[in-house]
């Protein structure tokens, strides 16, 4: 009788502890579309990345500035006394006249660099969107895994209660009752661990949305929306049209071309223009008296471009253009490889999901039910039940991991193709 009371008290304690695992405070549901909207608007890494566009555009605006003129003022005193040798004041305005359309070359280069930066930010967002989507899918999976572990625990808890009653009636021995009780405790520990993993996944979602963890969002979605029928050749064609990094590679070639144009323009001479006005006071000395007079002067300075014999800058720009052409071809091949690998991975996970849905899940359930039925009739041991329960749990968990991998492989495939139609 004391054993029955102790077992019952123990199980009631487990029930009370288990009830605490359901208390995750400050929760709210969030759909996938709303989640991605929040990521696009509030993700701090993306916001910081977008400042690169503003910086590049500001740099392009700064290249529109013309060279500043220079004003020089000069005063000359030719003796200790002004009335002996006289004194003078000179004013000169100088300006550098750039030839070879240097300003236009700088503007075109800065514009192309700003456009390239915009493409790089777009590519960053596509990578971020795929990473954020995978985090959402992982949170969905962890939520389902928590439900599976809770369900397994509830099943084993009821099984343990039943065994305690059967032990009190003398139908089974004490070791079998103790074994089912220990298994129930083990499953409860797994529930605790899984709940921590689930909460961590929810915290990750908040980080992607650029929000604090004062409230957690529960992902709401359906696993049955990831089926697609694709042809590899069509996907490769779409990728070569849509991939931002390939467009960026073309734009990078344009940047290199504009760098070459600027290097050529900078080899042109710049004229130094100057105009001045000089005021000379009267000089009253006995040897060479000079009346007061004013003078206007103008001048042109022409640099001697001996540095143009060094063509290192031109060669560097020309090699950069050749490099971008090779890089473009390499990006094309890289895209084809990535699309093919993502496609094969998607096909493989699709087949694995079908394996589970076509009988593996139901067979594991039938196996467990059959073993439990035999155990209740005294035809098998508790160890066979525990093995069947573990097998059933593992298959359930493997199925969730496979179906999450299936969804993630679709995200990866669409990212590599530069397309996006995932909504659930």
Q: What is the pTM of this model?
A: 0.81
Per-residue pLDDT of the chain (424 residues; tens, 9 = 90+): 334 334 444 444 444 444 444 445 567 889 999 999 999 999 999 999 999 999 999 999 998 988 889 999 988 876 655 456 677 888 999 999 888 898 999 999 999 999 999 999 999 999 999 999 999 999 999 999 999 999 889 988 887 888 788 778 777 777 777 888 888 888 899 999 999 999 999 999 999 999 998 888 899 888 888 888 999 999 999 999 999 999 999 999 999 999 999 999 988 998 999 999 988 877 777 666 778 878 898 999 998 888 888 888 889 999 999 999 999 999 999 999 999 999 999 999 999 998 888 877 788 888 888 887 887 787 777 788 788 888 888 888 999 999 999 999 999 999 999 999 988 8
Which of 392, 9, 380, 371 minimizes the C-alpha distance to 176?
A: 380
Measured CA angle at 222 (ends 125, 417), to 5 deg: 35
Residues 12 and 19: their CA atoms lie apart, in Å, by: 11
Residues 6+ apart with CB under 8 A from 184: 11, 14, 153, 156, 157, 159, 160
Residues 311 and 261: their CA atoms lie apart, in Å, by: 14
């Amino acid at each position: 009788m004391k054993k029955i009371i102790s077992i019952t008290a123990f199980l009631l304690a487990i029930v009370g502890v288990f009830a605490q695992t359901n208390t995750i405070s400050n929760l709210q549901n969030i759909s996938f579309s709303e989640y991605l909207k929040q990521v696009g608007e509030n993700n701090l890494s993306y916001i910081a990345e977008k400042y690169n566009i503003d910086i590049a555009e500001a740099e392009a605006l700064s290249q529109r500035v013309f060279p500043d003129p220079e004003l020089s003022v000069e005063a000359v005193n030719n003796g200790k006394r002004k009335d002996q040798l006289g004194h003078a004041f000179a004013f000169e305005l100088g300006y550098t006249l750039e030839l070879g359309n240097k300003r236009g070359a700088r503007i075109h280069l800065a514009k192309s660099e700003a456009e390239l930066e915009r493409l790089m930010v777009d590519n960053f967002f596509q990578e971020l969107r795929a990473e954020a989507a995978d985090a959402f899918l992982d949170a969905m999976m962890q939520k389902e895994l928590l439900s599976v572990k809770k369900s397994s625990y509830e099943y084993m808890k009821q099984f343990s209660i039943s065994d305690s009653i059967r032990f009190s009636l003398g139908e089974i021995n004490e070791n079998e009752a103790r074994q089912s009780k220990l298994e129930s405790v083990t499953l409860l520990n797994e529930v605790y661990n899984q709940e921590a993993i689930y909460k961590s996944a929810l915290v990750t979602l908040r980080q992607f949305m650029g929000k604090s963890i004062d409230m957690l969002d529960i992902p709401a979605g359906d696993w049955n929306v990831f089926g697609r029928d694709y042809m590899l050749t069509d996907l490769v064609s779409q990728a070569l049209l849509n991939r931002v990094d390939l467009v960026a590679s073309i734009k990078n070639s344009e940047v290199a071309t504009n760098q070459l144009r600027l290097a050529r323009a900078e080899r042109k001479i710049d004229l130094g223009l100057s105009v001045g006005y000089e005021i000379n006071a009267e000089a009253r000395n006995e040897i060479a008296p000079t009346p007061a007079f004013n003078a206007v002067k103008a001048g042109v300075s022409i640099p001697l471009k001996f540095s143009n014999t060094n063509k290192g800058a031109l060669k560097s720009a020309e090699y950069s253009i050749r490099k971008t052409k090779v890089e473009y071809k390499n990006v094309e091949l890289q895209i084809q490889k990535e699309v093919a690998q993502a496609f094969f991975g998607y096909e493989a996970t699709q087949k694995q999901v079908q394996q589970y849905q076509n009988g593996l899940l139901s067979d594991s359930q039938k196996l467990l039910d059959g073993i439990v039925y035999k155990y209740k009739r005294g035809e098998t041991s508790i160890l066979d039940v525990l093995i069947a329960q573990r097998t059933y749990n593992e298959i359930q968990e493997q199925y969730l991991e496979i179906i999450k991998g299936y969804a993630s492989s679709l995200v990866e495939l669409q990212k590599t193709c530069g397309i996006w139609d995932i909504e659930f």
